[in-house]
Amino acid sequence: MPQPRVEVLIPAERIQNRIRELATQINNDYAGRSLVLIGVLKGSFVFLADLARCLTIPLRIEFIGTKSYEHGTTTSGQVQLTKDLDKSIENEDVLLVEDIVDTGLTLNYLFHILQQRSPRSLKTAAFLDKPSRRRIQVEADYIGFTIEDKFVVGYGLDFEQKYRNLPDLCVLVQ
């Protein structure tokens, strides 16, 4: 089978510039406080790593895992928890970090689960936003880039578990 080709949509340097901007905003918004960053596995691991290193406020890092894709590029419409947090977030300022908000089902599901655990505050950051595909009206508080309805890979995002390591955000050319 021939491998699909990839084309660069957002180059690594532009991504890094945008992350510095987002981090400046988050550092200001949480000045004098500390933060729990919760990365949604697996897609957010690169964004989380870059964002965390630009933040100067004290923070700890947690991961939560979800699954919604059976295979390929279509969502099953069902979100499942595959890994829970290791520690309580009660009375903590929490920032949930996602790779992309697509249908909105994952962000909506996780927001409600985490809200039930009595954090002091709960906000969301998404590297990408694909508003044209929304099935539930949710919006992240911090958004890296808004993109058109294209299936993207790289910078943590995968197609069938591949391409996560590409430093640029790319589009699959089928």
Q: Which of residues 95-124 bind ligand IMP (CB under 6 A)?
A: 98-107
Q: Which one, of 101, 88, 172, 84, lies nearest residue 138 by Cα?
A: 101
Which residue out of 102, 129, 141, 168 is catalytically annotated? 102
CA distance 29 to 89: 19
Beta carbons within 8 Å of 14's beta carbon, 6+ residues apart: none
Helices and strands (H and E) in the chain: how many: 3, 9
Looking at 29, 52, 68, 85, which residue binds ligand IMP (CB under 6 A)? Answer: 68
Annotated catalytic residue 129: no
- Binding partner of 68, given Mg ion, ligand IMP, none, CB within 5-8 angstroms per partner class: ligand IMP
Binding region for Mg ion (CB under 5 A): 43, 99
Task: Report the catalytic residues.
Answer: 102
Give the binding site for ligand IMP (CB under 6 A): 43, 68-69, 75, 98-107, 151-153, 157
